Each structure stands twice: as structure tokens, then as C-alpha cells.
Structure 1
């Protein structure tokens, strides 16, 4: 049975072959169709088959036909499982086909009592990840020239336990075809009965297989939750690493229900609480060589919690804002017309708010512009408000006290303020920058649209300021250059001062005494000894002697008013050193 045949379910009890053909022939030419009826009666069993001449018509019927005389029906393309009545395919051929995706433990094609194939097969892999890869690769592909459908299987004992009437349906499966159907159609009915059992059990067989309850020991603390697993990690590889901490009851890697791929998380249960605690303690080692690693990835391991606790933790999780532009703050303080917050706001203020919002959106189109977290822009200020009043108001709004720090506060004027001149006319807005984001947010919410500050007609419009990243970088570069220049000047001055101090220390000697000069010129022996004997005394007083030193002689002239001034010496009469 190929993709030309569609399977129709949820048919009413009075459904007939003629009416079914009439409905589906509107899509395209129908090769043949029939409904499956109860044995010895005209009552429909609720399903039937329609075979088209073209595959496009079958696909279109699946999309467009939704009801049978007002009753909703389910239409799907029927693709029978592995090797429907195809004797060339054996268990060994099937095993070789699936072996390239992993280790195949068993491949079995069920047979009827007469030796004919039932039209489906079971393939068991050693690992669930390998089975998932095979499912995605082989599904709707051809094996031995026949297109097959591959899906997850359900354990027979569990299915029989939930379907008490399954055995009865299986016995009469070969007798369900309508009288007008040929032998091929009889096989279709019987094979569909085999397929109907898992379909009735669950719409998603994979979900049904995964509903197996795992041992719960949340209160005992033996189960761990593992994150940051590699998508290629298998349960065997993870088990080898965890066994060094103690014996395990199970390891379960969580798979995505749609892709059948690993989610990167897993659960593992130890037989002892001590082993689980030791594993968690080793995983918390944050050193470069510490922690537990599997397939090159450092695992994040914590104690598992119940599903109810996990939901509570998820609800309590605080949403963190990502990104460096702080765009979530751009809407802080926004008031839309028609909302409750806009009640009582003058029309002029609403027009200003609309204009400011449009301007803000235009500026934010530039990726270099971001929203400051600590700097506020306050519009709609009265003309008499100056910097001192604005600072005082913002300190009060932020709660006051020594904790609040305002690093910048300015009111914009129509001309640049200059020292000694009268300030120009206020433009009605200003900027306030806080040290902490919490204080800025508190101030914004207090000032924005507050009629109690400057009256109902002058409600402040407060918002977080927009900053240009490029301009801030240029400003920072200029400040760095100024710091470098200042530091170089300071170093030069310090070096100059140190050099002057060094020279003064080197050349510092006691001033020459007139008596000593007389003795020197007279070259008398006793007096010369007296001169050199005074040197150690000067050194004891902290003065250093380093040879001869010329001391400038300062002469002063008395003026008529009794004051003194320095005498102006005459210029030298010739160039070069003066020779005496």
C-alpha cells in the first residue's frame, strides 16, 4: 500500500462506500474506496480506505477533507511498516539496514500462522540515542524498494493491559473486509487492525514510552540533576564517570519529544545518599582543573527536586534583562493617551509626551545610542527652576539621607553660562545623574506626571536619558589625554624639584667668615687649622661641605620713605669671565 491510499477514521455508523467515494472524488479521480463494516451487518466500524490514482490528490485530500456529512473525520496517508508482504526482506536484511546507526540487539518480522508476513517489524537498539538516529534517517525511506514508516514501539504487555478488547479484535481481523473488496483490500484491513492498536493507545508513542514512572527518592536525596551535557554524550559514557562515586540505580538522558535529540540534561539516581552528596560536592569545584567533566564539558550537578518544587522555582525566577543598550528602560514613565494614567493630564503635556516619545524612537534606531541606567532627563520644568532647586527636589524624591549621591545636576539655558555674567533663559529641561540605578528609578517614578510639585499644568516629564556611545568614548579619550598631560607635567616638576634639592644639598657649605678669609689670604698656619677645625662642627649641625661656593652679595638701598630695595648693579663692561 503506497502513499496513494489514505486512511479515514471517525466515520459514522451509517457510512457507505458510495457516499465515501462521492466525498473524496471531489478532490480527484478515485481508483477504489470502501468502508470496513461489522461482520454480517451493514454497520460501519468507523474507518475506511480511499485509493487515488495520483499521489498529489491523496495529499490534497488529507489537507482539505475534514468532515463526513457534518461529522468530523480524521484523514491521513497510510504507509504500512517494514516490508509489507515482501518476502525478499528477512530479519538479517533488516538488521543490516539499521546496523549502520548503532548496535542492533534484535530485528524481528512477525509472521502469520500461515507463514506470511504481517507487514511490520521490530528493531531493538542497545541505546536510545542510536534508535532515535535510525528513526529520523529511515522513516519514509525505502527498504528493498518499499517505502516504510518507522516509529517508537510500545511494550506488548503494557499495551495489552490497557486494551482489554485487543485480542478479540485480532482474532476477527481477517474477516473485517467488505464483500466487494478484493484480496489486497482484505490484507489492508487486517494490517490496519495491527496498526490500530498502538494508534488507539496514544497519539504519540514516544510520549507513551517515556511515561514510565522513574523511582522517586526526592526526600531521600539520592537523585541528582545534571546539566551542560554534550548532545553527543551517551548514557554509557556518563555512567562510567558517575560510577566512581557509588553504585547507580539508573541514568536517564532527557530527549526532545519532537527531534528525539538530547536536551543536554539528565537524571541519575545513586543507591546511597552519601554517593550523591559526594558527586554534587565534586561538581561544585570551580577551579580550572576541578569539577566533573564528560566529553570535554564541565557538568553542572545539583540535587533533584520534585516537579511541584521545580514549578515553584520557575515561577520565582526573576527575569534578567540582557543586552547593553538597556532598551527595557526606554518605556519607563511612558503614558499613553486614553489610559488611566493619562486622566487629568493637560492636552499640551500629552502632545509633548508624544513628541518626546517619537524623538526617542528615532534616536534608538542608531545602535550606538543606549539608555542610561543612572541619568535622568526631566522635561516641562518651570522657568524659575535652577540647579539648586532641581538637585534638592531629586534628593527628596530619592529618599534623601547620606546614601543618595548625585554626581551631576544641570539645567539647560539658551546660552552657555559664563562666570560673572547673568544666566540666560531656562529651556525648561535638565539632567540629573545618580550614582545608583535604584535611586534614579525611584526619582523618575516620583517626578513623572506628579501634579503636586509644580501644579497640574506643569507636570514633570521624567525619563531615562539617551546616551551616544561614540561621543562618550571620545569624551573618555579626551579625559585620558588630559590625565596623561597632567601626569607628565607633575613628573617633570617633581624631577625639577628633586634636581634643585640635590644641587642645593651638594653645594651647601657654611658661609665664609671674614676672619677666615683674612686668615686664608694671610696663609698663617694656626689660623688655617682653626678654619678646618670648624668643618666637623658644621657637619654636626646637618650642613654638608662640598668645596668652594660663591655667595651672592645683596646690597640694599634705603629710600626716602624709609623702605629698602635691592640695589641695581651696573652691567658688566665686557664679555666673558671677569679676570681679577
Structure 2
């Protein structure tokens, strides 16, 4: 503290002192403000008292000297007071007019657009060295053309540079040359002052800057839509669209249920999976899938899942379960799902005018989706284990999506390998039934080897 206090760094004097606790520092600031306010109030009161004393002294002296003409003096005093009041009112009016004129001038100066910015002659420079002055900046950029001005941005109250600046050329051509040189990728032709590479771009007007800042603030304030709640807007339908009373009631019930479900933060809207309500009971999965493909009318579209939900306890004579009147349709792309929703939702040409399809993005539970993904991974690992002939496979050892040696084989070799492992498994199961020991395969091998040796010795003796 002793060695560095009141020393200069980059032409700025440093002030170093012991740090205070936050509460103590705030109390100190509040006391200073209160003292300053009290001082100003005391000065105002003293000035008023002095002016009143002077006025009373003058009036008493006049009354003593001219005691005979008191009434005339009162009238004169009243007239003088009226004149003073009128003069004060006139002065106040003139001062207010002056203030208004100054404000209008300031506003006109603020709102006047800079012609250099509109014409594209003003440029904004970044990454300037802190020791660069206006003259050095002007000298450097004068190689592209004559400059009107070159200003280095500095902090208010100090002369310390911000590392940025503005330059304005007299012609637009010179400004374009400067921009082309700044955008050049070659290292030899880059704009450099000292060891710092400069970045140059067109300057923006104040109105544009305010607009951009306001947009940034709005975007920052808006919360992130991790649950895809914006998709609810596409599911809504206007009341006056010719739907029947039953369909309107059904839509209201579905909307109320969805609102209750969405109170749970684990539930979100899927951007590829649709839920289709109000289906005819005789509609099959294939017919619904065909309707969805026709609605999208895109060859690239692909449906992963198209399933009508059914009551398995109610099965008809043909062995088909009773339909519950709603289904789930899942696409690979969000665009195809959205197009399908827009075409099918509340369309009177799909089924009937009185019974229209109610289509919306499906509500999903994060926990259920995670469990589903885990089951898929386990099923894949089991398939890979069966195809490779291994009883168990650790998912950490063989990553999902990576080809094993078995997948690289041809179809014939795969079939042979499967048959071999199937026979081996059956053979092992039979041995376990007979012997009931874990080392049944080893015992069998020993027996087989013993039988072979006996047969060999018998043949020799013959």
C-alpha cells in the first residue's frame, strides 16, 4: 500500500486504501448524504431569513421617517409589490422559455441523424491499443482516403481509452476500401497498429443501437422453452369454425386435462409425436397411417409409430380389441408432424362434418421416456448377445451403434454360427438335466476321450 499508493499507471494516478465491510461503507455513504442535505437546507433557510430581515428593516425605517403619510406609503408599497411580482413572473416566463428552447435544441441535436452513418462513411474500430491518440488513428487510416475526423472512445471523467474508436471518411469509396482491407484474411495485408489486429465494421445509428439493445433485453428476459409449450398454439382452433357441439365439448375437456397435466414440470410436449382423438371405432392402424402420409404428401416423411389404443378386455369375434377412439402417430421430423397436424386437425373432409379429428402434439413424461430408452438399449444388447452367441453382454463393453464381428459376416456365415451356438446351448441343457453339475461339459469331454481311447485299443488288438 505504501509503495503503490498515489503512483501513476498508464497516465492515471492510483488510489489504494484499506477495504471496509459492506455495511460500514453503506452507513458512511448514508451519513455523508444526510449531512450534505442538511447543509443545503440550512443555507436556504438562512438566505430567506436574511432577505426577510432586510425587508423589515427597510419598512420600519420608512414608517418612522414618514409617519404622517402612512396610507399613501401603504398604497405605494402595494404598487411596488405588484410591480415586483409582475417582473418576477415575466422573468420566470423568460427563463422557462429559454430552458424550453435549450431543451428543444438538445433534442434536435440528439434526434438529428448523422449523414455519415446513413451514407456508410462512418466506421467503428475495435481492438485499438490503449496508448493510441486521435492523431495517430487519423494518420493510420488516411492511407485509404481523406478523413473528416478520427475519435478514440474514452471513459467519462478520465482519459483512459476503451480500445475502440470512430472514423469518418469524406467519400464512401474510401470507407469501402478500408472495409475490404479489414476483411482480408491474409496476414500481410491485415490492419494492425502495434501488435494488435484491428477489426473494422460500419457504424450504427443511435436508434438502431437502442433497438438492438431492447431486443437483446427482451430475449434475455424470456425464459427458455424446454418443454415445447409454444406448440400448444398450433393445436388451438377458433370457436366459429363450423364444428359440432359434441366436438366443441370434447375439445374443452381435452384442453382442461392437458392444463392439469402440464402443471407437472416433468411433462413436456413432443415435437414429433401426435395424439389423434375422435377417431371412428372401425378405423384400422393401416388406414390411419395412410391418412397421415396423404396429409403430409412428402416422400421423405417417415412414420415410426402409428398405433390406435384399444381395450384388450373387449375383443370381438374376429379377434380385434375394441378401439378407444384415439391414437398416437410419431414422425421422424418435426416439419412433417406439424404439416400433418395442420391438415388433419378439424378437417371435415377426413371423416364427417359432425365428427372431425382432434389432433395435437402428444404430452410426454420425462421419466417414462427415459425408461423407454433404457429398455430399447437393453433389447438391442440382448439381440447383439444372441447373434454373437454370448449368454450375457455388458453394454459398457460394446457400445450401441458399433458393429460387432458378427455383423460384419455374410448371411450364410451368420446362419451357421447361430445353428452352432443353438446346438451348443441345447447340448449343455441336456447335460445339466442328466448330471446337474456346472462342469458337465468337461465331464462329457473326458468321457468322450476315454471312449475313443478304448475303441482305439480294441481295434489294435483285433
Using the size of structure 2 for normalisation, the TM-score is 0.50
Q: 1:222 to 1:364 in 2, by over 3 A?
A: same
Task: Confirm or deny: 8 A CA contact 2:276 2:327 kept in the other structure.
Answer: yes
Q: Hey, what does 2:400 align to over in structure 1?
A: none
Q: 1:495 to 1:476 in 2, by over 3 A?
A: closer
Structure 1 or 2, whichever has the larger Rg, is: 1
Q: Distance in 2 between matches of 1:462 and 1:358?
A: 15
Q: Hey, what does 2:342 align to over in structure 1?
A: 445
Q: 1:394 to 1:216 in 2, by over 3 A?
A: same
Partner-residue secondary structure (3-state), 2:350: helix
Task: Confirm or deny: 8 A CA contact 2:277 2:357 kept in the other structure.
Answer: yes
Structure 1, residues 252-306: CA drift from partner, whole Å, max 9, x if none? 98xxxxxxxxxxx997534454445544774697xxxx9999xx9x979457599
Q: Distance in 1 between matches of 2:227 and 2:374?
A: 21
C-alpha RMSD over aligned residues: 5.8
- Residue 283 of structure 2, aligned match among 371, 385, 406: 385
Partner-residue secondary structure (3-state), 1:443: helix
Q: Distance in 1 between matches of 2:331 and 2:381?
A: 27
- Normalized per residue, which structure has more helix? 2
Q: How much does 1:445 deviate?
A: 1.8
Q: Distance in 1 between matches of 2:247 and 2:452?
A: 84
Q: 1:573 to 1:202 in 2, by over 3 A?
A: closer
Q: Hey, what does 1:324 align to over in structure 2?
A: 226
Q: How much does 1:421 deviate?
A: 8.1
Q: Distance in 2 between matches of 1:463 and 1:452?
A: 18
Q: Distance in 1 between matches of 2:264 and 2:349?
A: 36
Q: 1:438 to 1:491 in 2, by over 3 A?
A: same
Q: Distance in 1 between matches of 2:109 and 2:255?
A: 55
Q: Hey, what does 2:60 align to over in structure 1?
A: none
Partner-residue secondary structure (3-state), 2:272: strand
Task: Say which structure, 1 or 2, has more relative contact order (CA 8 Å, 6+ apart).
Answer: 2
Task: Confirm or deny: 8 A CA contact 2:134 2:150 kept in the other structure.
Answer: no
- Residue 361 of structure 1, aligned match among 259, 262, 265: 259
Q: Distance in 1 between matches of 2:244 and 2:313?
A: 32
Q: How much does 1:142 deviate?
A: 4.7
Structure 1, residues 173-210: CA drift from partner, whole Å, max 9, x if none? xxxx9943899x89976985675245322668864442
Task: Confirm or deny: 8 A CA contact 1:280 1:303 kept in the other structure.
Answer: no
Q: Distance in 1 between matches of 2:448 and 2:291?
A: 71
Q: 1:304 to 1:180 in 2, by over 3 A?
A: closer
Q: Distance in 1 between matches of 2:449 and 2:117?
A: 112
Task: Confirm or deny: 8 A CA contact 1:371 1:467 kept in the other structure.
Answer: yes
Q: Hey, what does 2:368 align to over in structure 1?
A: 471
Q: Distance in 2 between matches of 1:572 and 1:280?
A: 88
Q: Distance in 2 between matches of 1:375 and 1:208?
A: 57
Q: Hey, what does 2:121 align to over in structure 1?
A: 222
Q: Distance in 1 between matches of 2:118 and 2:345?
A: 50
- Residue 146 of structure 1, aligned match among 40, 50, 64: 40
Q: 1:382 to 1:242 in 2, by over 3 A?
A: farther
Q: Distance in 2 between matches of 1:274 and 1:140?
A: 57
Q: Distance in 2 between matches of 1:291 and 1:463?
A: 56
- Residue 101 of structure 2, aligned match among 182, 191, 201: 201
- Residue 235 of structure 2, aligned match among 306, 320, 333: 333
Task: Confirm or deny: 8 A CA contact 1:377 1:462 kept in the other structure.
Answer: yes
Q: Which runs of 5+ in 2 are unaligned?
A: 1-11, 13-31, 42-77, 154-163, 391-403, 414-446, 458-462
Q: Hey, what does 2:270 align to over in structure 1?
A: 372
Q: How much does 1:363 deviate?
A: 1.8
Q: Hey, what does 2:324 align to over in structure 1?
A: 427
- Normalized per residue, which structure has more strand? 1
1:492-531 alignment runs, 5 A limit? none
Using the size of structure 1 for normalisation, the TM-score is 0.41
Q: How much does 1:376 deviate?
A: 1.4
Q: 1:474 to 1:291 in 2, by over 3 A?
A: farther
Q: Distance in 1 between matches of 2:224 and 2:385?
A: 41
Q: Which runs of 5+ in 1 are unaligned?
A: 1-102, 104-137, 148-176, 254-264, 502-570
